């Protein structure tokens, strides 16, 4: 029987891929690549000739791309349509891929071949992306332990394989814990306060389970409306408790999917790996390939931002507490002491009182098809590209859509769009690589992306309607997608998001969010689903803009809490076990202005750092937000749809991939180094001159 993962396809043959195909295909490709690489190195040695780009890098890139295109659909389906059989096949391959990657990174002959190429006369004739690819490869050889003695190389390999298993298990536990809990409600009165859209979703979830009434789950489209609108305080507390104790030793499923041991072993192994490579901490190891110059610089950046934002955050929380007290005095579901399950609820009530606007007021104006069309129009005006939906393609779920990207009739890229929450799909939103742009033997291979969200699906005959927060999430992920798809690089190692410093990779995504607040853009991004596409009325728009920075300092401090916790965790961990909860409590004592509870186990579900690419790198969101706010300020100065400014952003940042340092690309676009002032201004954070 043929194996679809071993065959060449323009797009992944999702309908043909079965779990039993996965491991044999990956094993076959890994064995074939090992043989090819050994043969290549033997041939170079026998010839005595200096390696060239054509004889060394080009074939390696081709073989790596074949492996990537086989593994990409497997990893994607594991995230969006997880089954026990696929999960088992996926996990069986992780140590195989980790071992292969380590072998490459520690291959002395391969490293020496790259060194010889860098020292050759040809190197000076190579273009910038080729030079950067070679420089990054040599850096990565060092970071993979190529210079270590054999016993330490073997230990590094063991650590890498084990980490791949642990991080996957961490993510699985969070998914399983999220999907394990649900609450069946038969009395609609318990849902008082919820908007009709949320009630309809909960009813639909009950119907899908063959139950009467309503079902609340921990998926975000279900969880967030409960926390935001439910007048029933005990229901909010119950749902909140289940959510913040997922995959831990606390809460309703205490111990069932507990990530405590996984978390501790991940930290211990990361520290040991950093030590093997000569770094004081995993944080130092992480920063070695990032835009930031040192761990001290990262901590200084985060602490400085916290110092600037905390006074306003404290004022915002004091106002919220006073408001909750006043609600109690008026007999309106108030609270004399705000608990964590009260904060979002009263914040929404205060927002409505102060600005007379709610996310639900905006939802009818953001039907998903109108939003997508408006997003395409925004990007078309900025970068001169067009989008066309393709209805005939091999899909893995009925919800998935597929679009081609063109410019002046010429194909540039394509992407899958998977918008709605469902069972067996992990939470959150992300962009991932399906195929990378590169110059292949047959010509330019065009990039393809996966764009994934977890929005509220269509309910009954009503189309999917987005909140404004979901709108910005969609634009955020599409910004990542544009970074991948609009690259002009022809070498896969620096094409799209590849080779981009991780603390700069959020620049295009956060940058694109700005158009979600621009009246000129919202005029065509929005359109009422019942009233002949009527755009967001001026009165609502004015309220939305007025409320844009509502509690923005509190939000900033929350992100800084996550960033500081992550970085301190990976910077302070030593061979002695670290009390993770105590460290989180210490960080919170310095920066948190909202209440916490002793049973909360946020860290047990922090997949960004324990199962994603953000270990000792969560600070990247704030770091890149400085870049994105400053980049957008040029559009504020020159016009938000200024085609020349858009072309400049495309030329200097989006198209360049990882071919140059992020700081250099930013300076080329902005004409100077980044400033934090536009970020503070965009967030509405007023800084005391004495603090500044």
Residue range 4-147 forms a domain whose CATH class is: mainly alpha
Answer whether 414's CB lies under 8 Å from 451's CB: no
Q: Is the pLDDT of residue 502 over 80?
A: yes
Cα–Cα distance, 566 to 580 (Å, whole number): 10
pLDDT in tens, 240-289: 999 999 999 999 999 999 999 999 999 999 999 999 999 999 999 999 99
Tell me how many degrees the CA angle 396-91-425 measures, rounded to the nearest 5: 35
Which residue from 422, 233, 434, 203 is spatially nearest to 328, judged by alpha carbons? Answer: 233
| 5: Cα separation from own chain's centroid | 26
Q: Provide the H-helix boundaries in 256-367.
A: 260-276, 282-287, 295-329, 340-355, 359-362
pLDDT band at 689 (very low <50, low <70, confident <90, very high): very low
Q: Tell me if domain 4-147 and domain 363-496 are identical in fold.
A: no
pLDDT in tens, 198-243: 999 999 999 999 999 999 999 999 999 999 999 999 999 999 999 9
What is the DSSP secondary structure assignment for residue 445, as one 8-state letter? E
pLDDT band at 536 (very low <50, low <70, confident <90, very high): very high
Answer whether 237's CB lies under 8 Å from 341's CB: yes
pLDDT in tens, 573-617: 987 778 999 999 999 999 999 999 999 999 999 999 999 999 999
3-state helix/strand/coil string of 149-171? CHHHHHHHHHHHHHHHHHHHHHH
- Predicted confidence at residue 690, as pLDDT, reads 45
- Predicted confidence at residue 692, as pLDDT, reads 38
Cα–Cα distance, 286 to 584 (Å, whole number): 20
CATH topology of domain 260-357+552-618: 1.10.1370
- Predicted confidence at residue 389, as pLDDT, reads 98
Beta bridge partners of 557: none
pLDDT in tens, 147-160: 999 999 999 999 99
pLDDT in tens, 287-297: 999 999 999 99
Residue 501 dihedral angles phi and psi, to the nearest 5°? -55, 135
Cα–Cα distance, 600 to 603 (Å, whole number): 9
- Which H/E stretch holds residue 406? strand 401-407
- Predicted confidence at residue 691, as pLDDT, reads 41
Mean pLDDT of all residues in the chain? Answer: 95
Cα–Cα distance, 489 to 412 (Å, whole number): 12
- Predicted confidence at residue 3, as pLDDT, reads 84
Q: How do the domains of the chain map onto residue ranges? A: 4-147, 181-244, 260-357+552-618, 363-496
- Predicted confidence at residue 598, as pLDDT, reads 96
Cα–Cα distance, 454 to 221 (Å, whole number): 7
- Predicted confidence at residue 328, as pLDDT, reads 76
Answer whether 190's CB lies under 8 Å from 270's CB: no
3-state percent breakdown (helix, strand, coil) of the chain, nearest 5? 60, 10, 30
pLDDT in tens, 537-568: 999 999 999 999 999 999 999 999 999 999 99
Exposed/middle/buried for 208, CB within 10 Å: 0-12, 13-18, 19+?
Answer: exposed
CATH classification of 363-496 is 3.40.390.10, yes or no? Answer: yes
What is the DSSP secondary structure assignment for residue 429, as one 8-state letter? -
Active site residues: 477
């Amino acid at each position: 029987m043929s194996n679809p993962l071993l065959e060449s396809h323009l797009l992944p043959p999702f309908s043909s891929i079965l779990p039993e195909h996965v491991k044999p295909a990956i094993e076959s490709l890994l064995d074939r690549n090992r043989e090819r690489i050994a043969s290549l190195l033997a041939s170079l040695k026998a010839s005595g000739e200096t390696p060239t780009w054509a004889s060394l890098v080009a074939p390696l890139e081709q073989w790596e791309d074949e492996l990537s295109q086989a593994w990409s659909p497997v990893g994607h389906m594991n995230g969006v349509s997880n089954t026990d059989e696929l999960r088992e096949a996926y996990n069986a391959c992780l140590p195989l891929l980790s071992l292969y990657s380590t072998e490459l990174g520690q291959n002395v002959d391969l490293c020496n071949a790259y060194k010889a190429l860098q020292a050759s006369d040809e190197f000076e004739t190579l273009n910038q992306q080729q030079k950067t690819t070679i420089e990054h490869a040599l850096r990565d050889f060092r970071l993979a332990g190529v210079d270590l003695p054999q016993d330490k190389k073997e230990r590094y390999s063991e650590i890498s394989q084990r980490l791949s298993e642990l991080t996957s298990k961490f993510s699985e536990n969070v998914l399983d814990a999220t999907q394990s809990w649900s609450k069946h409600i038969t009395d609609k009165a318990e849902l008082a306060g919820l908007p009709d859209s949320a009630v309809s979703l909960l009813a639909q979830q009950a119907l899908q389970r063959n139950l009467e009434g309503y079902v609340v789950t921990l998926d975000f489209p279900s969880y967030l409306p409960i926390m935001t609108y439910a007048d029933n305080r005990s229901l909010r507390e119950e749902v909140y408790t289940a959510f913040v104790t997922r995959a831990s030793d606390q809460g309703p499923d205490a111990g069932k999917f507990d990530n405590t041991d996984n978390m501790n072993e991940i930290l211990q192994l990361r520290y040991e790996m950093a030590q093997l490579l000569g770094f004081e901490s995993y944080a130092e190891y992480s920063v070695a390939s990032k835009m930031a110059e040192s761990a001290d610089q990262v901590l200084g950046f985060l602490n400085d931002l916290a110092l600037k934002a905390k006074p306003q955050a404290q004022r915002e929380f004091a106002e919220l507490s006073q408001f909750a007290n006043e609600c109690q005095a008026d007999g309106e579901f108030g609270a004399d002491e705000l608990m964590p399950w009260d904060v979002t609820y009263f914040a929404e009530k205060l927002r409505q009182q102060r600005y007379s606007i709610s996310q639900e007021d905006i939802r009818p104006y953001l039907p998903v098809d109108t939003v997508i069309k408006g997003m395409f129009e925004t990007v078309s005006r900025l970068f001169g590209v067009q989008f066309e939906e393709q209805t005939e393609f091999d899909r893995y779920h009925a919800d998935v859509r597929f679009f081609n990207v063109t410019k002046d009739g010429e194909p540039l890229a394509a992407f899958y769009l998977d918008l709605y929450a469902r069972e067996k799909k992990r939470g959150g939103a992300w962009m991932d690589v399906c195929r990378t742009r590169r110059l292949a033997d047959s010509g330019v291979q065009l990039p393809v992306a996966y764009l994934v969200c977890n929005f509220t699906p269509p309910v009954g005959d009503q189309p999917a309607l987005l909140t404004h927060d979901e709108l910005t999430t969609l634009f955020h992920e599409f910004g990542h997608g544009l970074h991948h798809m609009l690259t002009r690089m022809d070498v896969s190692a620096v094409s799209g998001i590849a080779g981009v410093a991780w603390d700069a990779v959020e620049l295009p995504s956060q940058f694109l969010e700005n158009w979600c607040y621009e009246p000129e853009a919202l005029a065509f991004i929005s359109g009422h689903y019942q009233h002949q596409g009527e755009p967001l009325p001026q009165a609502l728009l004015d309220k939305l803009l007025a409320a844009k920075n509502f509690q923005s300092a509190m939000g900033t401090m929350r992100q800084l809490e996550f960033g500081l916790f992550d970085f301190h965790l990976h910077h302070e961990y030593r061979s002695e076990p670290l009390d993770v909860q105590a460290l989180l409590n210490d960080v919170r004592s310095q920066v948190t202005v909202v209440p916490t509870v002793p049973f909360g186990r946020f860290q047990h579900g922090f997949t960004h750092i324990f199962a994603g690419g953000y270990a000792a790198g969560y600070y990247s969101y704030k770091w890149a937000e400085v870049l994105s706010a400053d980049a957008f300020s040029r559009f504020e100065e020159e016009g938000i749809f200024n085609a020349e400014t858009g072309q400049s952003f495309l030329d200097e940042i989006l198209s360049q991939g990882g071919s140059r340092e992020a700081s250099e690309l930013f300076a080329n676009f902005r004409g100077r180094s980044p400033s934090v002032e536009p970020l503070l201004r965009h967030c509405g954070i007023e800084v005391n001159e004495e603090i500044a």
